[in-house]
Structure 1
Amino acid sequence: MSVGLLALLDDVAGLVKIAATSLDDIAGQATKAGLKTAGALIDDAAVTPRYLHGFAAARELPIVGAIAWGSIKNKLVILLPAALLLSTFLPGAITPLLMIGGAYLCYEGAEKVFHALAPADAEKHEATLEPVSISASKLEDQKIAGAIQTDFILSAEIMTIALSAIDAPDIVTRAAILAVVGVGITLVVYGSVALIVKADDFGLWLASDGRTSGGRAFGRTLVTFMPLFMQILTVVGTAAMIWVGGGILSHGLVSFGITGPEHVVEAASEWAAHAVPAIGDFAGWSMMALVDGIGGLIFGALLIPVVGYGIAPAWKAIKRLLPKKDKGSS
């Protein structure tokens, strides 16, 4: 009996070692995959704060929390199983789907640029789309929904990059690693966004209640600087949408045998890296983002009339054919 018990304990110890090794492998591969998504992660963090513009300070953290929860659901409920299933059974569909998402990012970014350069014409274009709600609660819901839609595209890119970096034979381990990456990246991105949007409130508190003159001075500087920083971040967020979308499209075209845009991007990036060798990597990345951004902006601008005169009217016609919800129902 004692021999059997010892054998059982030995088996349990062996299983624990295997589990520990598996967990260590999952953590290691999740870290490696997460690092490969760093570029998309920065883009995601830059895009989100612009959706908080115009809301009261008390609503900022609840909105960030709602967007973060939507991002978690995007990654774990939709994208994780979809990525695993597509990579296993239909890998050829991943690139076209990503390109559709990239086109959406280019369109949305170009629309923001259009609004900044020609606000009157942009308002006419927006009038052809879905009406904007006047109610504060509905406007908040619309902003959250728009942020979650944009997050879906960026999250799809993040999960695809992470999946390509995972070296695991079985689907369960790949799923566990992707889940760790998805949750970890969401916490990093939206934790950073929460810190950014509340920095001015912290500065205000520090300026009025700081215990040292240096702390109060820093608080005043923070209060003065944050509005400018938020404006800069809004511009960076719009630019990030465009260059990420343009990059997705140029990379995707290669799989269809159209290599010209990708070659232009690579040549420009290499030229910049060699032109400024002291910061070669940064210069190469910056040029790549610039060229991708120019291509994405042109493509997005071309999509504006397509959406305004084609897709939007067709969608409205389809909605008219759908059963209407009873206004008296909740």
Structure 2
Amino acid sequence: MAGASLLTLLDDIATILDDVAAMSKVAARKTAGVLGDDLALNAQQVSGVASERELPVVFAVAMGSLRNKVILVPLAMLISAFIPWAITPLLMCGGLFLCYEGFEKVYHSMTHKQTHLVDDDTVVAKAQADIDDLGAYEKQKIKGAIRTDFVLSAEIIAISLGVAAHMDLMAQFLTLSVIAIVMTFGVYGLVAGIVKIDDLGLYLARRKPSGVGHKLGLTLVSAAPYLMKTLTFVGTIAMFMVGGGILTHGIHLVFEWIEHAQAVVTQINVVGGFLGLLTPSILNALFGVVAGGVVVLAIKGVSKLMPAKS
């Protein structure tokens, strides 16, 4: 009797694990787009630190990402169980924050283009200040990356929860946990590879003075700065696309309008299918730019109205 009960228990466990594996695969496919944005954003966020500190920074952000998911997984299940109506508003707040961060980044880069250094003494003083403040700069980078990761992780968890909504609580928890672990190590493993690509190129170039390895190393070293600039550009666009996408999905009228625009362009001969794939992303990004701009202008306006600190 006890043996039969044990076999039944093992069969139930195997069934649950099989369901979890199947739902994890479906959730991974549905969150693949967010994964690409997450990769671009975080590679861009951790760039700019000293070469020997790149991997420690990536590791620190990865640990912060795990902490985010330790908070988000049980929180998502609690919200889903007791206040499911709150999921969409919370996601929209996160999306608006991403749009704000993206627009603030663009605004900052545009307004600081006119800043010029006066003389060599100023250059030296600034360089010395930068050296003295490397620890604070690194902490700021890590904080910003973890903060951005929290929003993207929330979207990944929310999408995964939607896939596993029909399952019982234990299966939901296991599915979300699998997705959280796989996404974290997958993203930050790739981020570590991207930020160290120049060091890999330098190693290959020095290892052999000639040959394919040497040429490949020089190519990687030359391409690394352009790759990071590209990731900075792509990461900013990803902020608008992800944030704008969250906002448009939460505003039914805007979402319907985007779907209608997609249907219209799809009917164009030859290129209709391609344009149909691009249209939602472009419109989501444009909506994100507008939303981020409104928030930045609102914050700037409020800050001007606030009394200056003595």
TM bin, normalised by shorter chain, reads 0.7 to 0.9
Whether 2:196 is the aligned partner of 1:198: answer yes
Give the match's secondary structure for 2:251: helix
Aligned to 1:216: 214
Distance change >3 Å, CA 313–CA 20, structure 1 → 2: farther
Q: Superposed, which structure 2 residues align to 1:87-106 within 5 Å?
A: 87-106=80-99
Aligned to 1:142: 140
Instruction: Note if contact 2:265-2:272 (Cα within 8 Å) is conserved in structure 1.
Output: no
Q: Quick one: structure 1 residues 268 and 86, their matched pair in 2 at CA, closer, same or farther if it must change by over 3 Å?
A: same
What CA deviation, in whole Å up to 9, does each residue of 1:226-250 have, x standing for no partner?
A: 2111101110000000111111111
CA distance in structure 2 between the aligned counterparts of 1:147 and 1:313, rounded to whole angstroms:
30
Quick check: 1:304 aligned with 2:296? Answer: yes
Deviation of 1:221 (Å):
1.0
Question: Is structure 2 residue 57 aligned with structure 1 residue 51?
Answer: no
The one-character-per-residue Cα deviations of 1:301-322 (angstroms, maximum 9, x if unpaired) are 11112223437987x99xxxxx
Unaligned runs of 5+ in 2: 116-129
Once the two structures are superposed, residues 281-308 of structure 1 have per-residue CA deviations (whole angstroms, 9 ceiling, x without a partner) of x543322111111111111111112223
Residue 63 of structure 1 and its aligned partner are, at CA, apart by 0.8
1:237-284 Cα offsets, whole Å, 9 max, x none, are: 000001111111111112xxxx0x22332233334444475783x543
Instruction: Evaluate the alpha carbon distance shift between residue 209 and residue 20 of structure 1 in structure 2; reply closer, same or farther with a 3 A threshold.
Output: same
CA contact (8 A) 2:19 2:171 kept: no
Q: Is the 8 A contact 1:95 1:252 kept in 2?
A: yes
- CA distance in 1 between counterparts of 2:265 and 2:196 reads 37
Distance 1:273 1:46, change over 3 A: farther
> Does residue 65 of structure 2 align to residue 67 of structure 1?
no
In 2, Cα distance between the equivalents of 1:61 and 1:190? 10
Q: Matches of residues 136-215 of structure 1 in structure 2 within 5 Å?
A: 136-210=134-208, 213-215=211-213
Cα distance change on mapping 1:148 and 1:119 into 2, 3 Å: same
User: Would you say 1:295 and 2:287 are equivalent positions?
Assistant: yes
Distance 1:28 1:169, change over 3 A: closer
| 1:155 to partner: Cα distance | 0.8
Moved more, 44-53 or 207-216: 207-216
The corresponding residue for 1:320 is none
User: Which amino acid in structure 2 is aligned with residue 269 of structure 1?
Assistant: Q
* Residue in structure 2 matching 1:42, options 36, 42, 61: 36
Pair 120,201 (structure 1): closer, same or farther in 2 beyond 3 Å? closer
Q: Is the 8 A contact 1:106 1:297 kept in 2?
A: yes
Larger mean Cα displacement after TM superposition, 153-162 or 134-143: 134-143
The reply on whether 1:18 has 2:16 as its aligned counterpart is no
CA contact (8 A) 2:47 2:54 kept: no
Q: Secondary structure at the match of 1:169?
A: coil
Equivalent residue pairs, number: 295
Consecutive unaligned residues in structure 1, runs of 5 or more: 1-6, 123-131, 318-330
Query: What amino acid is the match of 2:288?
Result: G
**1:266 paired residue among 259, 264, 286:** 259
CA gap 1:297/1:198 in 2 versus in 1, 3 angstroms: same
Give a deviation string over 1:44-76, Cα, whole Å, max 9, x none: 101012222321111111111111111111112
Per-residue deviation at 1:121? 8.4
- 8 Å CA contact 2:95–2:247 kept in 1: the answer is yes
Measured in 1, the distance between the counterparts of 2:33 and 2:197 equals: 24
| Residues 311, 153 of structure 1: alpha-carbon distance in 2 compared, 3 angstrom cutoff | farther
Give, in angstroms, the shift of residue 185 of structure 1.
0.8
Q: Rate the CA distance shift 1:220–1:164 in 2: closer, same or farther, 3 A.
A: same
Which segment is superposed worse, 8-17 or 150-159?
8-17
Quick one: distance in 1 between partners of 2:36 and 2:258?
20
Aligned: 1:248 with 2:246: yes
Provide the alpha-carbon RMSD of the alignment.
2.6
Deviation string 1:19-59 (CA, Å, 9 cap, x unpaired) is 12211211111111111111111111010122223211111
Q: Residue 105 of structure 1: SS of its match in structure 2?
A: helix
Residues 221, 265 of structure 1: CA spacing in aligned structure 2 closer, same or farther, 3 A cutoff? Answer: same
Same amino acid, percent of matched pairs: 40
- 1:108 alignment partner in structure 2: 101
Structure 1 contact 133–139 (Cα < 8 Å) conserved: no
| C-alpha separation in 2, matches of 1:133 and 1:83 | 42
Contact map agreement 2:47 2:195 (CA 8 A) in 1:
no
Q: Does 1:233 align with 2:227?
A: no
